[in-house]
Amino acid sequence: MHTCRICFNTLSSSKITVKNLAYKDTKTQSIYCYCNRCSALNLVSTDAFVNETINFDFFGRNRLAKTSLNYKFQKIRSSFFLGNFTVFGLLLAMIFDDPYSLKNYKKYLSKESYSLLDIGCADGKFIFDISYFNKNSKFLGIDPFINQSYTDANVTLTSNTLLLNEDKFDYITLNHVIEHLDNPEEILKSYIPYLKKDGLIIIRTPITSNPIYSIFRKSWVGFYSPYHRTIFNTKSLSYLIKKIGFQEVYSTTDTTIWSIISSIFFIMEIPFRYHLLIYLVILPIFFPIIAIFHILIYFLNIKGKGDMLFLIIERDNLFEISK
Ligand SMILES: [Zn+2]
């Protein structure tokens, strides 16, 4: 018997089997079981390789983003999303889209200067981008897989949680992190003391309550199996944030063209590691189709019906009083 990671209910027998096309051994499969109480899909495979992936990080082990060549291109694309129009930026934005949801961060991190703690910052691509345009703010990225800390005038990236000290942050962000955790409630609770009283937590994660999941199902890139332990929907996320004493301030979706492109490649059983390369090869021929995908995703996001959720939450004061 397996129990749900979110509500600890016994999981139902309703399951979905997903090929591990993101894993090094693409012949393996993962099983996700549905929770009848909170609607979360829980990875239940007990194979040895699943446990192995707990300690296997696939972004943080790379060099820090700022020293890599592709970050130079990323910076041009990010400038575009953060309001600096260039033709090259527009082209890169069309090809690679906005995987860090910079458009939404630009809109909702509206303070002149602030402090931001990014949990699970990986190689720091998000922090470097956002810090580049907020020179008056302070950024701390924590990730257990960073093996070489980084510090400059306003950015620190480290695996050392002792650096948290007494600091309180205006924002805590978790970008595509909670779906990787075996104990999301515990991890979220452990960082709440570092949030200012009126601070906000921003969570981004794949969700199933949308047409993209309904179309692709087991080939949907949101599974990214076996790395994604819990696949949420709006119901299971509400359940989780209530349990930690928070409430929703705002939510929207930040789906990109990668949701459609990678899911199509997954239908064709193409391993994830080849997606970018194949995409770049076919791009000259399929550019008009990519443009149509952009329009489709634009409307899905406007309606809040995309497959990646951008959720802003705050402390629920009634929860504090009732404790
Ligand atoms: Zn549940």
For ligand 1, the distance from its centroid to the CA atom of residue 8, given in whole angstroms, is: 6
Q: Please, which pLDDT band fits residue 322 given cuts at 50, 70 and 90?
A: low
For ligand 1, the distance from its centroid to the CA atom of residue 239, given in whole angstroms, is: 8
For ligand 1, the distance from its centroid to the CA atom of residue 177, given in whole angstroms, is: 18
Residue 4 inside a domain? The answer is no
Residue 252, H or E segment:
strand 246-253
Residue 2 inside a domain? The answer is no
* φ, ψ of residue 189 in degrees (nearest 5): -60, -35
Residue 9 inside a domain? The answer is no
Q: Please, which pLDDT band fits residue 306 given cuts at 50, 70 and 90?
A: very high
For ligand 1, the distance from its centroid to the CA atom of residue 207, given in whole angstroms, is: 14
For ligand 1, the distance from its centroid to the CA atom of residue 42, given in whole angstroms, is: 8
- Angle (nearest 5°) at CA 314 between 176 and 97: 30
Sheet holding 230-231, edge to edge: 15-19, 29-34, 41-43, 230-231
For ligand 1, the distance from its centroid to the CA atom of residue 204, given in whole angstroms, is: 19
Pairing mode, strands 115-119 and 138-142: parallel
CA distance 43 to 27: 17
For ligand 1, the distance from its centroid to the CA atom of residue 131, given in whole angstroms, is: 37
For ligand 1, the distance from its centroid to the CA atom of residue 40, given in whole angstroms, is: 5
Q: Which of 61-70, 95-104, 154-163 has the highest mean pLDDT?
A: 95-104
Least Cα distance to 224 among 255, 259, 183, 251 occurs for 259
Q: Is the pLDDT of residue 57 over 60?
A: no
For ligand 1, the distance from its centroid to the CA atom of residue 35, given in whole angstroms, is: 5
What pLDDT, on the 0 to 100 scale, is given for residue 265?
Answer: 97
Q: What is the CATH number of the domain that holds 276?
A: 3.40.50.150
For ligand 1, the distance from its centroid to the CA atom of residue 70, given in whole angstroms, is: 40
Q: Please, which pLDDT band fits residue 165 given cuts at 50, 70 and 90?
A: confident
Residue 1 inside a domain? The answer is no
Give ion ligand 1 contacts, CB < 5 A: 4, 6-7, 9, 35, 37-38, 40
For ligand 1, the distance from its centroid to the CA atom of residue 162, given in whole angstroms, is: 32
Residue with tokens 């993209």: 212
Q: Is the pLDDT of residue 6 over 60?
A: yes
What pLDDT, on the 0 to 100 scale, is given for residue 29?
Answer: 92
Domain extent at residue 190: 15-322
For ligand 1, the distance from its centroid to the CA atom of residue 316, given in whole angstroms, is: 22
Half-sphere exposure of 275 (CA within 13 A, CB side): 21
Instruction: Provide the domain count of the chain.
Output: 1
Residue 10 inside a domain? The answer is no
For ligand 1, the distance from its centroid to the CA atom of residue 41, given in whole angstroms, is: 8
How far from chain centre, in Å, is Cα 285? 30
Least Cα distance to 233 among 296, 301, 305 occurs for 305
What pLDDT, on the 0 to 100 scale, is given for residue 63?
Answer: 59
What pLDDT, on the 0 to 100 scale, is given for residue 275?
Answer: 95
Residue 278 inside a domain? The answer is yes
CA distance 99 to 86: 19
For ligand 1, the distance from its centroid to the CA atom of residue 39, given in whole angstroms, is: 6
How far from chain centre, in Å, is Cα 39? 19
What pLDDT, on the 0 to 100 scale, is given for residue 231?
Answer: 97
Residue 112 inside a domain? The answer is yes
For ligand 1, the distance from its centroid to the CA atom of residue 218, given in whole angstroms, is: 20
For ligand 1, the distance from its centroid to the CA atom of residue 46, given in whole angstroms, is: 19
Least confident of 148-152, 159-163, 166-170, 218-222: 159-163
Average pLDDT, the chain: 90
CA distance 189 to 208: 24
